[in-house]
Chain A
């Protein structure tokens, strides 16, 4: 009961504005697929094209191998969970859940029975007679999921459904969503701007920027092997050094930067290859930066501690590189080996060339 979704060369234009540029995606049946991007990048537009509220200007949407052109949202095998949930305020919970059955003329007794089953699934048994306004945020969330599942869709589309919840509830709902997805086994397409949600729940993540899909991969690859400068700067935190490639040998590039020469590995993606003379960025994760002693590591520089934040399990240290006053961030686990470094000057810091990645210069995520 799960279908794959294919977007083939999809363009979506609103007048002069282009919301989707030549989007090609293949979402396999039964997987939890996330589209991640900053607000306004066109991810919701893409979702609406899949659900049928919007017709692509060019290209086609295929669900289960079938072209959806000319098929309205009410006849597609998809169900959408709206950002604001859009529960029907004038109906009881069970009427909300079984709305899809009601419009198909299913008898009331049968509908009630189905509602009870679904209320069991979302852990709200016996609450069917309540009104929507009697539920808390998390309960509403689950009712919205039950309502969508009741329509027995082959693809469930979720448009930032957790954004209205508080942090605690959001974390709880992440695991709950994932377990519901594994129980029902249908394709989930999830839209979010929250990378934490994307990385924890998804089988695959697509990172989107201004209507363009920048990279599609699983969570760890997205984090460790970003294809573009945008992905590297948007997903997680990264220190960035701008420079020029001096030479490339065995997948390690020598980059000359104002902070000195930096050795960093090249991307495995051939599209992101760099050659001598290219303007590039070197990205280093804060957790890859560390205090060093001796010549144990390829890239070393001197830095002064500007500011420290103690988070219990972690230290977040903001450093100024001594030569250029460039601000970088370092984080390390509080294992007791290092105490506060506040006010220290010209400490040796460094990172290995394996932990740094060199990517062609390109658009970056907004700070």
Chain B
């Protein structure tokens, strides 16, 4: 009993862990697309926004890349699916002695590294181009054409495998029956085999498109001077990313989900229909009810409503009040920095007060007490101006995480030169806390921008 419970617990734990492993990164990435933070991250959460989708749409390199990827994907589908179909048909008809050889030849491109395929495609068409004396602006050097051809070499093999799987379930008697009833070979192919293969054609097309869309190692060679989504992303990662990439990923995941749900709905319709037909065949029902059109299917309507409502909610909450939220976040951050600075300052003052006291033996005991009590007060500042403090070493702001150590270095902010700086540089700044005026330059805009990577690397 207890053992069983432990076992259950372990199984559930394992499954949970598995799903976290599987979907954790995806969820984190999805969230980063909606955070205003300039670097894709979830924590600290700033404001919910959809602005990265705008940024994405304005990124012309990325948009061109996506467009090229789509073009290439469609091209690969058009090229690879018929080749795969032809290969599969050939394999099913050829004699058993030749079949393993042909199979090996057609499957080989899957086993060859994509890099090799890319380079060989590039070289091959370059030779062909040279043979015809074609220039650099002809099709032989066109990245999109080369990529379609290069990817199709191995994607058609994928398509072929799908077709073979389907064809193995084809009853050749159906073809013979059609021929026997007077159909020509073309009619038999068109009316019998093709309808049977339709689901496989769909799967092969989807698979070919996805394989093409995500391909990198062949594409990077064959794309020449153009770019696809994958090559743009790769170069972006190299030069620093922003959440618009997450936004792109979210869009792709969303579209995939929509496709999957629609597919599932239509599949369930099919199953329902098949079950009804079985019932009729067994004599349990008299007829199969006519199914309503797909567009009025309750599940479909519900799904569309959910999608529309979800998109609307996300758009609304991601656009309204974002600017206000940003200002608040900015203020909070400034306040945070201010607090840190203040704390450091106080510690520093306390330190110098102690120093001063130990230096002047003439001071009364009650002052010592006072300085302890008023450590947070401004009175302690007096001692900052003691000549001894000026001798402190200079420290950089980056080390503000360790406030105690080396705080004396801040004293030089009171050097006369600093007073020349007009405090009107920062108009949106609120009245600083009394006694901190000297620290104005801490809030200079440059500091704020520095803050992001510095903090990040600190974490």
Contacts and interface: CB of A to CB of B under 8 A. Distances in A.
A86 B177 contact: yes
Given A74-B182, A86-B177, A134-B278, 14 more contacts: A72-B179, A74-B179, A74-B184, A80-B177, A88-B192, A90-B196, A99-B183, A102-B191, A103-B181, A103-B184, A130-B277, A134-B281, A136-B281, A147-B181
B246 to A, nearest CB: 44
B176 A82 contact: yes
B183 A134 contact: no
B180 A51 contact: yes
B180 to A, nearest CB: 5
A155 to B, nearest CB: 12
B147 to A, nearest CB: 36
A100 B281 contact: no
B22 interface: no
A74 B183 contact: yes
A102 B182 CA distance: 10
A103 B182 contact: yes
A232 interface: no
How many A residues are at the interface, by size bracket? 20 to 34
A80 B182 CA distance: 11
A73 B172 CA distance: 14
Interface in B158-202: 171, 173-174, 176-184, 187, 191-192, 195-196
Contacts of B180: 51-53, 73-74, 78-80, 151
Contacts of B278: 133-134
B305 interface: no
A102 B178 CA distance: 11
Nearest to A152: B182
A84 B183 contact: no
Contact of B281 (A75, A135, A147): A135
A104 interface: yes
A149 to B, nearest CB: 11
Contacts of A62: none
Given A86-B173, A133-B274, A134-B288, A103 B183 contact: yes
Contacts of B171: 84, 86
B221 to A, nearest CB: 43
A90 B281 CA distance: 16
20 contacts: A53-B179, A72-B179, A73-B179, A74-B179, A74-B181, A74-B182, A74-B183, A79-B181, A80-B176, A83-B173, A86-B173, A88-B177, A88-B192, A90-B196, A99-B183, A104-B182, A133-B281, A134-B280, A136-B282, A151-B181
- List of 3 A-B pairs having minimum Cβ-Cβ separation, nearest first: A86-B173, A100-B181, A86-B177
A131 B174 contact: no
Contacts of A52: 180
Given A51-B180, A104-B182, A130-B280, A82 B196 contact: no
A80 B180 CA distance: 7
Contacts of A53: 176, 179-180
A346 B192 CA distance: 67
B135 interface: no
A73 B178 CA distance: 10
Nearest to B282: A136
Contacts of B184: 74, 103
Nearest to B198: A90
A74 B173 CA distance: 14
Contacts, number: 80
Contacts of B44: none
Interface centre among B177, B191, B280 (most CB of A within 10 A): B177
B283 interface: yes
A340 to B, nearest CB: 43
A39 to B, nearest CB: 17
B281 A151 contact: no
B186 to A, nearest CB: 10
Contacts of A133: 274, 277-278, 281
Contacts of A84: 171, 173
A61 B182 CA distance: 19
B195 A90 contact: yes
B385 to A, nearest CB: 96
Given A72-B179, A74-B184, A99-B178, A131 B191 contact: no
A302 B311 CA distance: 97
B142 to A, nearest CB: 41
Interface in B195-211: 195-196
Contacts of A51: 180
A248 B184 CA distance: 61
Contact of B181 (A90, A99, A134): A99
